[in-house]
Amino acid sequence: MLQIDLWKRIVIWAVVALGLLLALPNAFYPRVESHNDAVKALEIGASGQELEEQVARWPSWMPSSLVNLGLDLRGGAHLLAEVQVEDVYQSRIESMWPEVRDLLREERDRVGPIRLQPTDSAELRVRLIEKPDEVEHAASLVRGLARPVSSLSGTGTSDIEVTTEGDEIVIRLSAAEQRATDDRTVRQALEIIRRRIDEVGTREPTIQRQGSDRILIQVPGVGSAAELKEIIGTTAQLTFQPVVGRTQNAEDAPGAGNEILPSMDQEETYYILERAPVVTGDELVDAQPDFDQNGRPAVSFRFDPTGARKFGNYTAANIGSPFAIVLDNEVISAPVIQSHIPGGSGIITGNFTVEESTQLAVLLRAGALPAGLDFLEERTIGPELGADSIEAGKIACVVAFILVLMFMAMSYGTFGLFANIALIINVGLIFGLLSLIGATLTLPGIAGIVLTIGMAVDANVLVFERIREEMKTAKGPARAIELGYEKALSAITDANITTFITALILYTMGSGPVRGFAITLGLGIITSVFTAIFVTRLIVIMWFERKRPKTVLQGRSLRLVPRDTKWDFFRRWRLSLGISAVLIVVAFGSFLLQGLNYGIDFRGGTTIRTESAQPVDVGAYRDAIQPMQLGDVTITEVFDPTFGEDENVAMIRIQAQDDTESVPAEIVEGVEAALQQAVPDLTFTSVESVGPKVSGELIQTAIIAVALAIGAVLIYIWLRFEWQFALGAVVALVHDVVLTIGIFSELQIQFDLAIIAALLTIVGYSLNDTVVVFDRVRENLRKYKKKPLSEVLNISINETLSRTVMTSVTTLLALGALYILGGDVIRGFVFAMIWGVIIGTYSSIFVASTILLWLGVTRDWSKPDANQGNQFANVDA
């Protein structure tokens, strides 16, 4: 029966309503953004009528989560910093010398005098001058200084390794302690950077760990990467202050010489402290997670000699009194002094977990960066470029939306209108999900939404074309609609799962804008399937219950493919494969002879984007920077139909100066100054720098990502169909990837990280087409048990041809709008997508199916249920 239970209808409409409600704030972006900023300001203690008015501009009962705009849309600075964790090993091991020295001095009668030996490694070498025979005994004493590694992975191991070499004791950090130190160092650096940036009050910064020793920093609204580096480099204020009392009212009078500061982790708790600190963070040498005498997690710390004397005198006179550890005007801990703490070392005990003691140690050390930062990537995006990108993206989305809506309405009439309603809901659901998870929308992300607009109709096209077929044989429109959804479900599921696998690999392997594209693509797949299978179906059923038509999808409409085609796609298979082979040879030849025009993502270096009202004079630009002798410098003018008459854009690419370092900031500043002198009205809308180390890693990651995508597809198709189907699909995918790389090599279009995202999406799209054809082949092999495989393949391709062309055209309409109106920043990315759609449609028909014809399949009808699994018998191709 063609019906949906009432409770299911309520659930479907409830999900749609919730999604659209979550997306609604994005339609009032400036108003909601100012509301959110005002709410945050009031939460941290700010006040004022203007803030209250901004809060009132958006109802408190409405959702207020927004899609965050990426740097390429809002402008700001991006840094990828590598923490030099090895720097910490040396200082950490050197800080143990006083303890080792004092211990061995107590045993001077037996081990004799000692001397610290110079070394270039992260180790201590202590030589026994007069009694080398006692070196093993001395080493055993030093081993007694070992402490357990305070990390979950290092449980049961010691923090140091003590060995002997001749008359020397060698002390090194253990491998487990090095790993724990690496983790603590990166976390400490992350905490310091976050606190520094939060102090500036920027909106929606992204500060997150990337890999084992890298930190990604993206801050909207900051003028340049150099400015952001200055912010990160400032020093935190760490003090140790006497506690006078505690209160829950920040307005209490603290008394002369005192101050009231809030607790970091206890809400509505404030400490009254003496304003003059006992010791400052400048005198803190180290703080490490530790364990107390009862084996409970604690934090040990150590001061330098000056701080040790101050702290020892204070603790001796204040046993039983609390003292506060204050970081940036917040009390992070207020332990009680248990005893006199001489020597500058102490331990903070409390009801800690291992994680909490580690975090407290991180905060204690947050007065300065624990290790040097090597900036591997630097990007500065001007707000003007971001505003232009937003405007271009909006126009492209609207035009693509209108084109697809018109095309669907012309092609399917009333059912096309139903698909359009679902498409509008689909876009709303995407924004609702992006807002819910707090995702960041980038320019490639907008491309992902536009691509979703084109591909979202695919599931509906599959269903509608199937309903048209079923109307020829089914008993009435109700049964045709029911069978249309039932039989199209398998193809919809397989096609979208394979594309979703690609999106997952993109998200896992990618970073920055590529990851943003993967998020929108993945969410778009989920919402597209939901709207096609549930929303459109519900709308169709509600319409059918009211109208009770005698026929559906049989009237006049726009048809790109004749109603009943019987074309023989294998009559000239040698010609089609010959064309593919020639194109592949040309692609390889072009790649070998001239290679790819790699962007800085893969080559390393710096790209400066300039804009001026004056026409670009490449010669003048080159003459201005020639005296700097920078080596390989490329200057090109950017032409784009969306530019105004006074919008003249150029790109200056500076190759990395050597194989280990990126272009220094002072060289970039010198280039900008020289260009500014030659063209006074010149502005720099973006500056991007990538070090050779990262560029090399990106190439490796890109190759792995493409290989993983193809491998994952191979496994999935093999499991769902047969190995012959999987091999045919993979050959088609390799064909598409090679030809795409070939066209980029032949035309010398810039090949950057975004193109890798396009390649992987091409893999998903091409596979989508191939799976739809293969799904019909599998069905027809059961239906036509006696027909030869070539005839079954021809029937299947002809039956799905209308859907293939319709989906390709809707996708190309959306991509065409983005290519023409989306701006030059992502034109290469969109070109790759357009080429991929064309070549993917071709390969799914002529390459994948021909390979399957060659290999043959298996029909085994001896099994009781021919509808389960892949039960085919040998067919002579």
- The pTM score is 0.69
- The SS3 call for residue 663 is coil
Q: How confident is the model at residue 871 (pLDDT cuts 50, 70, 90)?
A: very low
Mean residue pLDDT across the chain: 81
Burial label for 718, CB within 10 Å (0-12, 13-18, 19+), is: middle
Q: What is the secondary structure of 533-593 as a DSSP string?
A: IIIHHHHHHHHHHHH--S-SS-S----SS-SS----TTTTHHHHHHHHHHHHHHHHHHHHH
The Cα–Cα gap between 801 and 424 comes to 26
For strands 168-173 and 160-165, give the pairing: antiparallel
Work out the pLDDT band at 647, boundaries 50, 70, 90. confident
Determine the Cα–Cα distance for residues 273 and 243; give it in Å rounded to an integer.
5
pLDDT tens sequence across 477-511: 888 888 888 888 887 887 788 778 878 887 887 76
Give the tens place of pLDDT for each residue, 134-173. Answer: 899 999 998 988 888 866 565 668 888 999 998 999 999 8
Q: What is the pLDDT of residue 582?
A: 92
CA-based end-to-end distance of the chain: 41
Element housing 170 (H / E): strand 168-173
Alpha helices in 721-788 (DSSP H): 723-747, 753-783
pLDDT of the residue at 378: 83
- Per-residue tokens: 492: 């919809």
Q: How many angstroms separate the CA atoms of 746 and 11, rounded?
A: 52
- Percent residues over pLDDT 90 in the chain: 8
pLDDT per residue over 779-806, tens digit each?
A: 888 888 888 888 999 999 998 888 888 8
* Residue 325 near residue 364, CB atoms below 8 Å: yes
Degrees, nearest 5: CA angle 114-115-117: 140
Q: Measured at the alpha carbon of residue 710, what is the angle toward residues 704 and 716, in degrees to the nearest 5?
A: 130
Asked whether 386 and 74 are in contact (CB, 8 A), the reply is yes
DSSP tag of 281: G
The pLDDT of 352-358, averaged and rounded, is 76
| Count of other CB atoms within 10 angstroms of residue 398 | 12
Helices 753-783 + 848-855 axis angle, to 10: 50
Parallel/antiparallel/unpaired status of strands 683-690 and 605-612: antiparallel
The answer to whether residues 206 and 71 touch, using CB atoms and an 8 Å cutoff, is: no
Under 8 Å between Cβ of 232 and 193: yes
Question: CA-based Rg of the chain, rounded to a whole angstrom?
Answer: 34
pLDDT score recorded for residue 867: 40
Q: What is the pLDDT of residues 815-833, one digit of tens each?
A: 888 888 877 777 887 888 8
Question: Quick one: angle between helices 383-437 and 513-530, nearest 10?
Answer: 50
Cα–Cα distance, 310 to 345 (Å, whole number): 12
Greatest mean pLDDT range, 4-18, 219-233, 314-328, 655-669: 4-18
Helix, strand or coil, per DSSP, at residue 263: strand
Q: At what angle are helices 383-437 and 443-473 packed, to 10 degrees?
A: 50
pLDDT value at position 129? 87
DSSP code of 532?
I
DSSP 275: S
pLDDT for the residue 38: 84
Number of neighbouring beta carbons within 10 Å of residue 77:
26
Exposure of 800 in the CB half-sphere (CA atoms within 13 A):
33
Question: What single DSSP character describes residue 824?
Answer: G
List, in order, residues 6 or more apart from 161 with CB less than 8 Å away.
Answer: 171, 172, 173, 174
Question: If you average pLDDT over each of 37-51, 205-219, 381-395, which comes out highest?
Answer: 205-219
